[in-house]
Structure 1
């Protein structure tokens, strides 16, 4: 496990996460290369989209209060933790990296909250920073549209990643999100919270 420190989330300081405790980029932690058998530690950072989703939920708890929530590609779990903080009936997380699910549960526990291991028929689906590659985007679109067709509200946090399918979404709000310069080559990103249209 990487060395991490329990740190308040810049845009949502009500929540603290175990985050990498030195100024490094994502691939600095993998020896400078991507390996398909070992996903990079996305969970060790508070990404802009997740922070924006967390801030939106904390400011608008009625979006999730009393509802079943699923955080897709959870990473650190920041959006899921915000949903639990806001009184969601149950919150579950998924991620292709088992270490991210472990991190999300560890972070939830550090905030005095808990996540469930599995969730049927979520009423709200959250996804932060998921449109980051041309191969991931179509799969994510299919997953989120299926959830929307099943009746879930789908909220996405995205800071203008190159593969975001904006034509499918309505912008709810925007935040200027502080981010590590070593991670994003900038110190802040304008990040939208988007709602998937019904279809």
Structure 2
């Protein structure tokens, strides 16, 4: 069942690791137009049942054919870009509620997935937004979601930016990125570099899954907001009830 494979946190790290080795998905499948058509035919436009009903997204739902197909029939890496993760929902909600946070800022949405956080930042007045996801299909999905929300497509980057030279971002957004210890440690080191070199602000959306409490990055987080998840989101995420936004700073 795709629902179990896509939403079970214990499997998510493995699936992302598989995704890192499938960088040629888009080329293997065909043209960008072919990928776009595939996404249009195998996702559903959703705007309700989330923390941000004002944002429309193309998502993977029980009404989609592949929700009920065997997972191995899906032609790409696992479609994390087609799930609106609870950490991303909290982050997007916070940005919409507090537009001053992103207004006039140069923003990086790291591990952008469906692009909801980037969309929220742009709707809140950010100067420019870069979306970064190692899955090239996510970039196309994000373009479609921008169109749904009346926005021009964002520049996108599919190279892994973690460990790269900071590019002058005022604000870095991360939603549901702390699902694997090695990834969390590499983020901890790189985010420190961005903050110390350029004074970058870092906001993290996370629903507080048990493994976050065990990571060393946790002691550098200050909670800014907490949101109660809608019933449908709770059901899809195995009973998680709340999701928070955290400010990360190595000196905390």
| TM-score, scaled relative to structure 1 | 0.86
Residue 63 (1) aligns with residue 96 (2): no
Please list every run of 5 or more consecutive structure 1 residues that lacks an aligned counterpart in the other structure.
Answer: 33-37
8 Å Cα contact 1:130/1:140 also seen in 2 = no
Q: Please give the alpha-carbon distance, in whole angstroms, between the structure 1 residues aligned to 2:103 and 2:177.
A: 24
Superposed displacement of residue 151, structure 1 = 1.1
Q: Of the candidates 177, 181, 191, which is equivalent to residue 229 of structure 2?
A: 177
Secondary structure at the aligned position of 2:229 is classed as strand
Q: Of the candidates 46, 62, 66, which is equivalent to residue 7 of structure 1?
A: 46
Residue 148 (1) aligns with residue 148 (2): no
Aligned residue number for residue 62 of structure 2: 22
Q: Please give the alpha-carbon distance, in whole angstroms, between the structure 1 residues aligned to 2:190 and 2:70.
A: 28
Structure 1 residues 173 and 157 mapped into 2: Cα distance closer, same or farther (>3 Å)?
Answer: same
Superposed displacement of residue 142, structure 1 = 2.5
Please list every run of 5 or more consecutive structure 2 residues that lacks an aligned counterpart in the other structure.
Answer: 1-37, 158-165
Mark the structure with the bigger radius of gyration: 2
Structure 1 residues 158 and 59 mapped into 2: Cα distance closer, same or farther (>3 Å)?
Answer: same
Q: Please give the alpha-carbon distance, in whole angstroms, between the structure 1 residues aligned to 2:192 and 2:210.
A: 19
Q: How many residues align structurally?
A: 195
Q: Please give the alpha-carbon distance, in whole angstroms, between the structure 1 residues aligned to 2:238 and 2:63.
A: 12
Secondary structure at the aligned position of 2:112 is classed as coil
| TM-score, scaled relative to structure 2 | 0.69
8 Å Cα contact 2:44/2:61 also seen in 1 = yes
Q: Which has the higher helix share?
A: 2
Superposed displacement of residue 113, structure 1 = 1.1
Structure 1 residues 190 and 180 mapped into 2: Cα distance closer, same or farther (>3 Å)?
Answer: closer
Superposed displacement of residue 182, structure 1 = 6.4
Q: Please give the alpha-carbon distance, in whole angstroms, between the structure 1 residues aligned to 2:191 and 2:70.
A: 29
Q: Which has the higher strand share?
A: 1
Residue 120 (1) aligns with residue 167 (2): yes
Q: Of the candidates 76, 89, 93, which is equivalent to residue 131 of structure 2?
A: 93
Aligned residue number for residue 159 of structure 1: 207
Superposed CA RMSD in Å reads 2.8
Residue 31 (1) aligns with residue 83 (2): no
Structure 1 residues 30 and 63 mapped into 2: Cα distance closer, same or farther (>3 Å)?
Answer: farther
Q: Please give the alpha-carbon distance, in whole angstroms, between the structure 2 residues aligned to 1:124 and 1:130.
A: 16
Residue 110 (1) aligns with residue 148 (2): yes
Structure 1 residues 30 and 87 mapped into 2: Cα distance closer, same or farther (>3 Å)?
Answer: farther
Structure 1 residues 174 and 127 mapped into 2: Cα distance closer, same or farther (>3 Å)?
Answer: same
Q: Deviations over 1:80-113 (max 9, x none)?
A: 0000101100011101111112211221121011
